[in-house]
Structures are given as C-alpha cells and as structure tokens.
Chains A and B, each alone.
Chain A
Amino acid sequence: MSGNGSLPKSTTCPMPIRDTEEVLLAHGGGGRLMAQLIEEMFVPAFSNQHLDQLHDGAVVDMSGAKLAFATDSYVVQPLFFPGGDIGSLAVNGTVNDLAMCGARPQYLSVGMILEEGLPMETLRRVVESMRDAAMAAGVTLVTGDTKVVDRGKGDGLFINTAGVGLVPEGVVIGARRLSPGDAVVLSGDIGRHGIAIMAEREGLAFETTVRSDCASVAHVVQELLAAGIDVHCMRDLTRGGLASALVEIAEAADRQIDLDESLIPIDPQVQGACEILGLDPCHVANEGCFVAFVPACDARETLRIMRNHTQCTDAVIIGGVSDENRPVVTVKTAIGGTRLLDRLSGEQLPRIC
C-alpha cells in the first residue's frame, strides 16, 4: 500500500457500507477493508518513516546495524488443523515476516492470552509445537508473557509473537526496488492453508487431504541472499492470498506487474474446493509461501535454489514487472484474455452465484 494517503479507486469485491461504527470481521481479512483500517486509523496516529512503508516488518538502524523487527498475532480457529496449529503458525508467521525483510530471524518473544477453561493438554500440545517450529526455523524464544481471561472472553487461546533479526550489510529489500523486467517468482502452490482451515470449520463440511503449508521460509531466503541473488522485494502470502500481496506491492512500487494465470500452481483439491465454494484461489490464505522479485538474470538460479527446499519444490516464475508505472496487477487468463488481479475486500465468502 502506498504511503501517500490516498486509496486507489479500484477494484475489489464489493463491500458493505464504507464508514462503519463497529469493527467488522472483515477488518481482519487481509484485504481492502483491513488496508483501509490501517491507513485511516493506525498510520495517522503513529506515522513515521518505518511504519509508513507498511511492510510486514520494519528494518531499523541500531548503532549501525540493521535490525529487522516484526510482530504477528494468531487467533485462528480451530486451534489444530492438518499441517499445523496455532503454535506453529505463531512462530512461522513472525519468522517469515523477518525473512521477508532479508533478515536472519534470531529471537522471538511470545505473548499468550489464555481463556479460563482451556485444557492444559491443549496448551501443552501448542507449546510443544512452538518449540518444534522454533527449532526448525533456527530461532530462540527469549521472553514471553502470559495472561488469562474469563471464560467466554477469549476463544480458547490467542498468541502474539514478535521477533528480531539482523539484515546483512548491502541487503535492501522493499517495493521501491522493483525494476522493469524483474521476474516474479512464486515459491509454491497457493491456497493450501486457507482450504485446510475451511475444511475443519463447521458449515462448509468437505473432506480433503489438503494440509496447511505452514512452514518457515527463512532458510530458503538465507540461501538466496548468501548466493548473491539481488532480491528486490519479497512478500509472504498470508490472509488475502497471492492477490493481496501482489496488489500491495504494485501499489507501493507504483509499478505494473504482469502475471500469466496458467503458470500459477494450484493443488487439484484446492482448486476443487474453490470451485464448489465459488472462491478465487488467488485470494485464499497461505502460510509458507512467498513471492520474490529478482532481476531477470537471477531468475534461473533463484528457482534452482528454491526447488532444493522441500516446501518450494514447485517454485515457478509466474510473471514479471512491466515498464508501465500503473499500480495494477494484470493477469493473462487461461484463454489468453486479460483482466486485473484484485485485492480481497473483506471476508472471503462462499457464494452461490
């Protein structure tokens, strides 16, 4: 999202009345309404050169060293789902945000808000999962906080993590570095996390073997940087999916990004679930998938490095940065037509139409 304070006049799924007096669930959806909340409520109150970049993490100068600092909160229901749980999400979420800044994630804090009545066994499983995720990601949990709220006030368990890591000298990652001709590299197939979660939710009852892609991407990113790949920008795909991530980057960079839809990898079951619910896979959440913008000359080596990692074996180039400076993402459709990619507006809703 650009820092100039004006919302684009586009381009999303329609949403309810603009000026709301209450917070809506849609404000947390990762799409247009959330962007609006951030732009109109938080940025004006706290505005500074770091925050205004609205990146997933901030890179701040501390006595000459570049420190990346990121935070994430997890409120997912159900707490456990195929491929992960709230604990592994909480660790990997912040780890990935730091990685997206080009940092090597090192230290995490964790804040737990527990609801009275949460079974100890549940908490133990979550904590063990966090331990395992932290070990896999190479980070250390160094401090934390615990609070308990009355029964009925907490949805079981909420977790916040925050983390720091150092950004190597010479590494500058951000939308402003996007250049015409850059390749857009996607690390893997899209939509698995969102579909895995939806399958566990009542009301949408479908059976699938899709597992969340929740994982740390820190090691992949470290290897890219160590190999000297000049990564211009990266974003991990979370709520709002591939579409929201790319539209935000296009707007922040004020640059057109062109995609070829037929190149975007989608698991057949993710496609099946999206078809029956009427969802666009580009709007479905991920948790271990990212896009990287690299110079065209580095694209092949980027793919080679990514594909060596188990969660990135499907890494593929899905498009490129245009020399047009319009803040849009164009998509060449399956039959050769063109359309725009659009940010998710509010909650993702199954539809009958």
Chain B
Amino acid sequence: MKYIDDYRDAARAHEMLAALHRLTTRPWRLMEICGGQTHAIVKFGIDELLPREISLVHGPGCPVCVTPLEMIDRALAIAAHSGVIFCSFGDMLRVPGSTSDLFRVRAQGADVRIVYSPLDALQVARDNPDREVVFFAIGFETTAPANAMAVHVAKTEGLRNFSVLVSQVLVPPALETILSAPTHQIQGVLAAGHVCMVMGMGEYEPLAAKYRVPIVVTGFEPLDILQGIYMCVNQLETGRAQVENQYARTVQQDGNRRAIDLIDEIFSVIPRKWRGIDEIPQSGLGLCAKYADFDAECRFDVCVGPVEEASECISGQVLQGLRKPNECPAFGTSCHPGHPLGATMVSSEGACAAYHRYRPQREYS
C-alpha cells in the first residue's frame, strides 16, 4: 500500500538504525505518547533494535486504557436498558468494568453493536426510530471531530433518539501532569501524530520550553518512529528542547482548522478522571450546554457505585512512564491478558498487553 509499505522498508530501517547507533553517546529515556506507537514499536520489534542507551517508556495514549471504571460501568448500565441499541468502537467491547463488560452484557440480551464510525451509529438511529441509540464517544483529539460531527448532524436532522456517552480526553494536560511529576525521568517525547493532525503543534511549544524536553510529533509506521527517535535524540545530544515535526506529510503546524472549530462548537473543556492517574483538570471534553439534549448521561439516569482498582495494579505508573510492564510484580503471574488487573493489560494498545503479547524473552513454565 502506498505511503504505508514505504515506511516499513527494511533497508531504510537498517540505515536509520545505523545512524542512530552512531549518533547516540549517552543514555536517553524517551516516552512515546500514543498506544498506536507502542503497538508498532513492539509489533515490529523496534525497541530491541535500538542502541541500548535508548530506552522507551510508554505513555497514556490509549483512550481505552484511560477510560475510568465508572464510565464503563455507566456504559454497561445504559446498554442493559431495554429498548437501547448501544453502539461502540470495537476496542471498548473487551474492557471490563467492575463486574462485567459489553460482550457479556450482549450475551445477556443487550443490543450492543460494533461500529467503525460514529456515522454508522447515526444510521442505526435513523433505521430504528422507535429505539434509543447511544454511541460511546471515546477517544483523544483524533476522534473528537468525528464524534462532534455525529452530534452536529443529529441536531441538524432533529434525530431525537440519538445520544452520546462522552469520554473524550486531551493529551497536553496529561503530558503536563506526567512531566511535572517530580519522579519522572523522561527526557524526550514522541508526540502522537494523529492527535496533532487535528490539533496542530502549538500546544506543545509551551511544554517543551517549560520542562526543557524535546517533543517530536511522530507518525506510526516503523520508519516514522525510528526517524522520530532520531530527531529527538539528535536534539538531546545537542542540548536542544524544541517541538519538531517528523510526520510532516500528514501534520501541519496549525492542524485542521475546520475540525478544531467543530470541536469548539460541540464540546467544552472539562476535568476528566483518567484510569490509573486520577482527575486531571481541563483534560477532557464534554458536550456544551447547547447540545446537552444529546448527552446520554443526562438522558439515562444511571447510578454507578464507587469502584476500586486491584491494589497490585501499577497501570497508573505504567501510563505515566514511571515503570515498565515487566517491572510489575503481577506481570505475567496474577495479571495477564486472560486475567487482567488493570487497563493497560486489558486494551490491545495497552503497554502491558503489548509486552505480554509480543516479547520473545518471556519465561515459560
């Protein structure tokens, strides 16, 4: 496939790695933000090919991982309502809430449907005027325009039987939380290319300056990640801390203006709880008052009890790049994909799941 296969070319990858080996003179600790980048790193075995001085820690860029337990429980409660058709991206179906998950709720008779796009959920609402259709609007800024468009179209069409359960989060506040923690050891950041495709790069300049970390907006193919790492290490080796754009074929400085305007029209910035990290102010999006009619949390009165995470789970530290999955005492023993204790083992983009799935050096009993 054009513009994909080129960025998986083995010969170019080897050249890039050789250059990186020549460039690196000291240990550096980088964080890649996005779960898709983590996935690519582990799937292509990139981290094993890097100079051993470079270590990668994995960030909170997985909206599935960071969706709070209470929100999942809310989703399950709504899905279980008779008459509701609950539409969700595939990623969310596996994620356990306190006692159940969307798959099991479906097995018990709920109408839960996987959709590829929020527009598909809208169509379900048009096709089923006598049912309430709820769409689970999760995601980072990448998905916010699409979710916003669904609400905008629903209002324009007067689609009264459609609502959204919003769990949108924003990257820069989470990144700031991580970089401001006294214990963090992150020296450079690979920012999420598709988030910046929407939002542009401007939000990262103050962070780079304030925390003196280079931030390289990076794509998702192996060559993108290698080049992003190269650019980041290059800055570190020369004492710079700037925002650079590795993914310039897709990301522009100012992002996508139309998408940003629609997000601003439909959503307002609110505090959000992040699973494993707790509440971060101004870190999420919620429907603004004009669109409150479409808010499933208002439309459905669901009571969700207090929830607790398993005490051994360190996913919060993993999400902040403070620990690696294989440093967790529960990793591979009491916590593994068949019995996940936390969000990062549940989601296929989560760092713990990625490690467990792809690492060849694991011990086998």
Contacts and interface: CB of A to CB of B under 8 A. Distances in A.
A-B complex is real:
yes
Interface of A: 7-18, 20, 22-26, 32, 36, 203-205, 262, 268, 271-272, 275, 277-278, 326-328, 330, 333-340, 342, 345-347, 349-353
B44 A334 contact: yes
Q: Which 7 A-B pairs have the closest CB atoms?
A: A337-B45, A349-B90, A335-B13, A339-B358, A353-B349, A22-B107, A16-B101
Given A340-B359, A353-B91, A353-B348, A17 B104 contact: yes
A349 B143 contact: no
Given A17-B96, A25-B107, A335 B357 contact: no
A336 B13 contact: yes
B62 A353 contact: yes
B359 A335 contact: no
A351 B64 CA distance: 10
A26 B101 CA distance: 13
Interface stretch (B110-118, B268-276, B283-291, B300-308): B110-118
A17 B139 contact: no
A51 B100 CA distance: 33
Contacts of B358: 339-340, 342
B347 A14 contact: yes
B116 A335 contact: no
B144 to A, nearest CB: 12
A342 B43 CA distance: 11
Interface stretch (B149-157, B197-205, B228-236, B332-340): B332-340
Contact of B364 (A8, A22, A338): A8
B148 interface: no
Contacts, number: 162
B64 A339 contact: no
B36 interface: yes
Nearest to B139: A352
Contacts of B1: 268, 271-272, 275
A283 B14 CA distance: 28
Contacts of A268: 1
B28 interface: no
A121 B347 CA distance: 45
A15 B94 contact: yes
A352 B63 CA distance: 10
5 contacts: A11-B356, A204-B116, A336-B13, A340-B357, A350-B116
B46 interface: yes
A178 B8 CA distance: 32
Contacts of A203: 113-116, 120
Given A16-B96, A24-B103, A353 B35 contact: yes
Given A24-B104, A345-B337, A351 B348 contact: yes
A336 B11 CA distance: 9
Given A16-B101, A353-B39, 6 more contacts: A333-B44, A335-B45, A349-B93, A350-B116, A351-B91, A353-B62
Contact of A22 (B45, B108, B223): B108
B358 to A, nearest CB: 4
Interface string B26-49: 000000000110010011111011
B311 interface: no
Contact of B90 (A8, A11, A336, A350): A350
A339 B340 contact: no
Contact of B46 (A278, A335, A351): A335
Nearest to A329: B360
Nearest to A337: B45
A153 to B, nearest CB: 15
A352 B143 contact: yes
A346 B103 contact: yes
Contacts of A262: 10
Nearest to A13: B348
A328 B8 contact: no
Contacts of B243: none
Nearest to A256: B360
Given A9-B365, A333-B45, A339-B45, A15 B338 contact: yes
Nearest to B350: A14
Contacts of A20: 104, 107
A340 B360 contact: yes
A334 B357 contact: no
A79 B345 CA distance: 37
B337 A339 contact: no
Given A32-B338, A353-B64, A338 B91 contact: no
A13 B94 CA distance: 9
A331 B353 CA distance: 18
A339 B10 contact: no
Given A11-B337, A337-B45, A342 B357 contact: yes
Given A13-B337, A14-B353, A345-B337, A328 B94 contact: no
A234 B275 CA distance: 45
Contacts of B63: 353
B344 to A, nearest CB: 10
B4 A275 contact: yes
Given A15-B338, A340-B359, A353-B63, A9 B332 contact: yes
B91 A352 contact: yes
B188 interface: no
A350 B114 contact: yes
A325 to B, nearest CB: 10
